[in-house]
Chains A and B, each alone.
Chain A
Amino acid sequence: MTPSVLLLAIVALSLIAFQVGRARALASVGGLRGVRNLHSLPGHYGLLTALWCGIPALLLALIWWSAQDQVLINLVAAELPADLRNLDPASFSLFLNDVRNVVAGNIPADQVSTETAGAASHYLRLRTISQWSIAVMALSAGVIALLIVRSRIRPEFRARNRVERLIEGLLFLCSTLAVLTTIGIVLSVVFESIRFFNIVPLTDFLFGTQWSPQMAIRADQVGSSGAFGAVPLFAGTLLISAIAMCVAVPIGLFSAIYLAEYAPYKLRGIVKPLLEVLAGVPTVVYGFFAVTTIGPLLRGWGVELGLDVSGESALAAGLVMGIMIIPFVSSLADDMITAVPQSLRDGAYALGATRSETIRQVVLRAALPGIVGGVLLAISRAIGETMIVVMAAGLAANLTANPLEAVTTVTVQIVTLLVGDQEFDSPKTLAAFALGLMLFLVTLLLNVIALYVVRKYREQYE
């Protein structure tokens, strides 16, 4: 029984359970006439039965499925002939990977060795058994729970209170998912990073200026130093983010000021949504725009000016990223500026200040904490942005401050290290997780500082 069929079966069983519970409750008071003798509405009895029937069955199935692959592959591995089991761990895991691929149908079974095909068919046999057994177990658990709840239904049974407590519990679980996600992120990057730092010392990673993650497979290979000094990546990320902020902050801030303070109502109604369109455009579109339009444009200008602009310059990526962030800065700044009470402006006008003096010396000062917070959030966005730099910035880990050269960033390297086939234990793969940890920590720190700045320095107006 495939997972989707089992899911449907569990849902169907729960629907039956609802009817059973409801009918039982009504029967216990002699039909609809005696319904006022029931403690709760008949539907509550049905719902309670359905929940108790469905949830355990579902949980059981989910736990089983999540463990199924590991257990099955171990079972298959244990049955393999001795000479295969005695292979070194790397080739053994490669063999198991092949088995998995045959099972998934990525490789036809007639293109692999007989051992692999045999193991794959063994796996498939076991999986069929496993799927049938979980189906039987989950459904019988559901039926047993159904019968237990049914036997306890009496007119004075407080079904509503129990249903509500159960649902409240479920709602609580929904809200903890955010915490679980954070824990999941931290655990997944921290564990792999620790393994990485066992191979490459933390100081080499943080302060090394050489980045070339190709590890030598043979000792005599050329150009595979396997250096993991991340400074060029950090520098590249900062350079591109700095260029992006140079574009986004002035344009975003000034357009927010203009739209909030000067623009006629009609113009604001047209231009504001137009700028916000920029925020809804997928980043991959910006990446494509940078590669096909801005990159060649800058290169052409560079040739005219006699400058050597790289085809994948930091400038192109940074400019386009800046365009992407404009609406982010401008909408945050707009919120902050409109939150400044009119009385402050009126006070400044009464003292004879012009509009720009009022804005510069009163409004912006009052809105400053919010704007600083917004800019910090924008920086964290620029640092974590992936697609634009993957497409428009290069792969070469240059340690340079020249925006016309190609640089690489943390996110680009994560993508290059992890896209495509890779084994899970090489320092190359693990390095991506170490970079991910850095990225997570830095963006988290920026967010925390931004929230702190906003909260601490925000003026409270009445």
Chain B
Amino acid sequence: MSANKKSNLEILKNGLFGENTIFRMAISLCPAIAVTSGMKNGVALGIAVVFVQTMVNMTISMIRGFIHPKIRIPIFMLVIAGYVTIIDMLMSTYARPIYKEIGLYIQIIVAFASIFARAEVFASKNRVWPSMVDGFASGAGFLLAMIVISFFRELLGKGELFGYSIIAGNPLLIMVLPAGGFIVVGLLMGFFNWVDIKFFGGKGASGAG
């Protein structure tokens, strides 16, 4: 896995597209639907994840020589929880209106499988700088997915982007309802699989599910 040294650019590409958290790996799905009814919230959570993921990977990579393999899980959890607490406090102070809506999901970042997975798969085996790039790439992949999903949901559901009215007339209310979130993610996943099969000769990552 880490034996074949990858360049930073490859790591970045892998995090953004090849192993995109939401569409390809299908983990950390909860917030992808919960906060994407508007772009503002989606982007805010995405940025929080980029921060946490990068810092966690950096920290784990720095202390990887001192962690006994048997107790690595609690240690990872502690590191992640520490950074989540930081971002939680920062947002509750400086971004109060957004925090009121998505505060619970910010705290829930602790339980993100993707952050844990990157720490386990990459940061605990690699040097500090590549680990930070990997964390950033994986977080950016998440941010990208959040932007795409919330773009469609806000545009179709409210006729707005970032709260500014774009389309006049009656929007499709279902898109901002919980049900719409599931359906949009499902259709987008199907679309990306289709692109993968049609143009890149892949088999569709989640096809086995």
Query: Is A bound to B?
Result: no
> Which A residues fall within an 8 A CB radius of B?
none
B-side interface residues toward A, CB under 8 Å? none
